[in-house]
Structure 1
Amino acid sequence: MTRVRDLMSPDVQVVAETDSLTAAARLVRAHDVGSLPVCGQDGRLVGVLSQADLARHDDAAHVGVVVGEISEP
């Protein structure tokens, strides 16, 4: 049986809920991840930001830039 720990990313990158979408997109690209845990001011998990979230909640011009950055090798 495969366990979650066998597939998970051990070096977890997180963003603060006050960080910009640009900063989050850079982390996604730099670490080649599909989502980022989002922490509140107290350091507790408050949500998860996915690549789809980045694309869905941004203007069309910026979505192209974000997707391009994420897709670069």
Structure 2
Amino acid sequence: MSNCKIDHSIDDVITKLNEQKPFLPSHLYDRLGSFLSLNSPSQSVLNEIFHLLKKYDLSSEAEQEDRNRALLSILE
């Protein structure tokens, strides 16, 4: 995944999370939603989550598993 130079707001990340909801495991969607609403993630974390969610639906199953692991590591 490439990194872009755009800083994504928490609203951008929540919008992207909701767009990808049908494709994400429900437990991961719920945990990410809670994390975003209960914490004040740093800009770098927001950007990382956004880019892991970006085009999630178009990713292969193996790529989705990699992204799931990366998202879970952010939540720990």
Whichever of the two has the greater Rg, that structure is 1
Higher relative contact order (CA 8 A, sep 6+): 2
More helix by share: 2
Give the TM-score of the pair, scaled to structure 1: 0.33
More strand by share: 1
Give the TM-score of the pair, scaled to structure 2: 0.32
